[in-house]
Amino acid sequence: MKGCRVRVASKRFGDLQVLQGLDFQVSADNFFALVGPSGAGKSTLLNILSGLDLDFEGELSWVEGGPGKIGYLFQEPRLMPWLNVRENIELVMPDTVKDQAWIDHLLRMVELSDRADAFPRQLSGGMQRRVALARAMAIKPDVLLLDEPFASLDDPTAVGLRRLVLDLWRDQPGAVILVTHNLREAMELADQVLFLSRRPARIVHREVVIPSRIDPVVVRDSQYLTDCLMRRHPDILSGIAAVPEEA
Amino acid sequence: MLEGSAWGRWLFLGVFLLAWQIIALLLESEQLPGPWEVMGSVWYHLLEGELLYSILVTLRRVLLAFTLAMAVGVIVGFVMGRYPLMDTILDGVLIMGLNIPALVVIILCYVWFGLVEAAAVTAVAVNKMPLVAVTLREGVRDIDHQLLQVGQVFRIPLSRRLLKIYLPQLYPYLMTAARSGLSLIWKIVLVVELLGRSDGVGFQLGSFFQFFDITSILAYTLAFIFVIYSVESLLLRPLENHLTRWRP
């Protein structure tokens, strides 16, 4: 698995500076969460990480040569409505014939084996997201980007999908970067949470939830962890850390 | 019950034929033969005359002009939709092309290239091209960039990107262009034949006109309508159903 050093000195849209002085290391097999006020530039950062946005000052340096494979779960599922579930996954695969067994495996993981021939519009919102997740995992990404994937889902569906993300990650390890505004969600899933300030966004606090992932199956009390964090940094969700820290 | 079923169409056809027969009987005029008489004439031209040959000749021209117009129109429309600069440059030509009378194009083609097959096909194609280009330009402007980003992030090879992400978004526009284009071509190709060809349905109709042979004219028209319905129901509609099968 490849890691990546992310350095974004500055990113602007015209006169508006969105990101400033971001520098962090995405090591392989790490689960990151990025939390920040809305409009802070979280999605902009993901677009830079995914290679969609090349217009910024700074660089992404991959640890082991060449750029790593990126899996991206967008905010909306972004499935091709004219391709069925299986074809949507095949779309991103390098060799569609050879990889049928792998696709079958993924479909079993996301519990959609019996809907492989269905078109996206015949599926519920939660199912569509599971297909999109299977598609993102299909390329065995070095880095999996998740852009608020659980927003706009009802609670049981979101809980199921969160568990699925962890299952898939255990099944197919790599770095994960989850963007969310839901602090509890971040504390529940991530090893490390990076907190962003208001625009121009920089990292104001890095919370290490668990130093190393010995047994990822351990259930955390994410509510307790969240409460503790909020006591130490009452304004963290507005992008302000209690004690100024080095990012 | 009749909605959307084939019965609705057949019912209309039956009523239409009946009305036609009654009016023809009442008028007893040479200028309006009844459907029976016309059917007999279709049979006669099919066996004795050149009906089948004429229709095949015309169909060949339709096919050539259609292919040419679609190919050029799609490319021009794509370029105009994709690159605003080209849109600005070509927009004037496009508006002229859309509005110039078909007859002018036909006459100019015959004058410049001579009374040859290529001139006839070109004249028809030129009349249709702007329509295809306008439709495709809309389609390209409507492309969903969020879906294109999927192709970019997952580094999908270009050929697959075009085939599976780009093209399906254009299918509805291509179908519209094909449909409206085809109906325009049917109309213009006969005029082109009448003016400068010595075979095809248009030429035959011209000859019948000189003899005031209304029955034969209607017979040819009927045969022609049959061909158009066949193309629609055997080719266009199945194709459209296939391409839009993912819609619920």
Does an H or E element contain A236, and which?
none
Confidence at residue A27, expressed as pLDDT on a 0 to 100 scale: 80
**Smallest CA–CA separation between B35 and chain A, in Å?**
46
List the single residue in A with minimal CA-CA distance to B163: A91
Distances (CA, A) of A161 to A111, A184, B53, B181: 11, 15, 65, 48
Cα nearest neighbour of A118 on chain B: B246
Domain range list for chain A: 1-64+181-247
Chain A positions touching B156 (Cβ under 8 A) are 91-92
* Contact between A92 and B154 using a beta-carbon 8 Å cutoff: yes
**Rounded Cα gap, residues A236 and B9, in angstroms:** 69
Strand order across the beta sheet in which A4-13 lies: A16-26, A4-13, A57-62
Tens digit of each residue's pLDDT, chain B (248 residues): 555 566 777 888 889 889 988 898 888 887 888 888 888 888 888 888 788 999 999 999 999 999 999 999 999 999 999 999 999 999 999 999 999 999 999 999 999 999 999 999 999 999 999 999 999 999 999 999 999 999 999 999 999 999 999 999 999 999 999 988 888 898 899 999 999 888 989 999 999 999 988 889 999 988 888 888 888 889 888 898 888 888 86
Q: What is the pLDDT of residue A223?
A: 73
Query: Nearest-CA residue of chain B relative to A67?
Result: B155
**Polymer length in residues for chain B:** 248
Bridge partners for A72 per DSSP: A145
For residue B163, what are the domain limits?
A: 34-243
Q: Which run of H or E residues covers position A67?
A: none
Q: What is the token pair recorded at A46?
A: 């993901």
Residues of chain A predicted below pLDDT 70: 1-2, 65-66, 96, 211-220, 241-247
A52 with B154: Cβ contact below 8 A: no
Q: Which of B143, B146, B154 to mutate to test the interface with A (most CBs of A within 10 A)?
A: B154
- Interface residues on B facing A, Cβ-Cβ cutoff 8 A: 146-147, 149-150, 152-156, 160, 164-165, 168, 171, 243, 246-248
Please name the residue of chain A whose CA is at the shortest distance from the CA of residue B166: A80
Residue with tokens 């602007």: A12
**Interval A143-193: pLDDT, tens:** 899 998 887 778 888 888 888 888 888 777 788 899 988 888 888 888 888
Q: What distance in Å separates the CA atoms of residue B82 and residue A52, rounded to the nearest whole number?
A: 19
Query: What are A43's two structure tokens?
Result: 């999605």
Test B247 with A50 for CB contact under 8 angstroms.
no
Q: Is the peptide bond before B101 cis (omega within 30 degrees of 0)?
A: no
Which chain A residues touch B171 with a CB distance below 8 Å? Answer: 82
B contacts of A70 (beta carbons < 8 Å): 153-154
pLDDT at A211: 55
**DSSP conformational letter for B246:** T
Burial of B29 (0-12, 13-18, 19+ CB in 10 A): exposed
| Record: contact B156-A91, CB cut-off 8 A | yes
pLDDT at A247: 45
Residue B199, Ramachandran bin (φ over 0: left; ψ between -120 and 50: alpha; else beta): beta
Neighboring chain B residues of A52 at a CB cutoff of 8 Å: 149, 152-153
**Cα–Cα distances in angstroms (integers) from residue A181 to residues A3, A34, A152, A229, B65, in the given order:** 25, 8, 12, 15, 58
Nearest to A78 among B146, B243, B246 (CB): B146
Grouping H, G, I as helix, E, B as strand and the rest as coil, residue A32 is strand
CA-wise closest residue to A148 among A202, A196, A85, A77: A77
According to DSSP, the residues that pair with B233 across neighbouring strands are none
Are the beta carbons of A156 and A122 closer than 8 angstroms? no
- Which residue on chain A is closest to B151 by alpha carbon? A92
Min Cα–Cα distance to chain A from B174, Å: 16
Count of structural domains, chain B = 1
Domain A1-64+181-247 grouped into CATH 3.40.1410.10: no
Q: Residue B182 sits in a domain of what CATH number?
A: 1.10.3720.10
> What one-letter code names the amino acid at A156?
P
Angstrom distances, CA of residue B18 to CA of A240, B11, B36, B187, B224? 84, 11, 11, 27, 20
B153 and A119 within 8 Å at the Cβ level: the answer is: no
For the stretch B39-79, pLDDT in tens is 888 888 888 878 899 999 999 999 999 999 999 999 999 99
Distance, first Cα to last Cα, chain A: 25
**Residue A139 and residue B154: Cβ atoms within 8 Å?**
yes
The ipTM, to two decimals, is 0.82
Q: Which among B150, B171, B243 has the least Cβ separation from residue A78?
A: B150
Model pLDDT, residue B3: 57
pLDDT recorded at residue A213: 55
Ranges of beta strands (E only) in A51-202 are 57-62, 70-73, 143-147, 175-180, 192-196
What are the φ and ψ backbone dihedral angles of A240, each rounded to 5 degrees? -125, 120
- CB within 8 Å: B147 and A80: yes
Q: Do B146 and A76 touch (CB under 8 A)?
A: yes
H or E segment and range at residue A12: strand A4-13
* Residue A143 β-bridge partners: A70, A175
Q: How far apart are CA B50 and CA B53, in angstroms?
A: 5
Cis peptide before A200 (omega within 30 of 0): yes
CA-CA-CA-CA torsion sign (A77, A80, A84, A86):
negative
**Which residue is closest to A89 within chain B, CA to CA?**
B154
CA atoms in the 13 A half-sphere facing the CB of B111: 6
Residue A157 CA, distance from chain mean position: 18
Q: Is residue B2 part of a domain?
A: no
- Amino acid A107 reads L
DSSP assigned state of A201: B
Tokens of B23: 């009016």
Instruction: Report the distance separating Cα A158 and Cα A155, nearest Å.
Output: 5
Q: Cβ(A199)–Cβ(A43) under 8 Å?
A: no
> CA dihedral defined by A73, A76, A82, A83, rounded to 10 degrees?
20
Chain A nearest-CA distance from B93, in A, is 35
Residue of A54, A72, A82 to mutate when probing chain B, most B C-beta within 10 A: A82
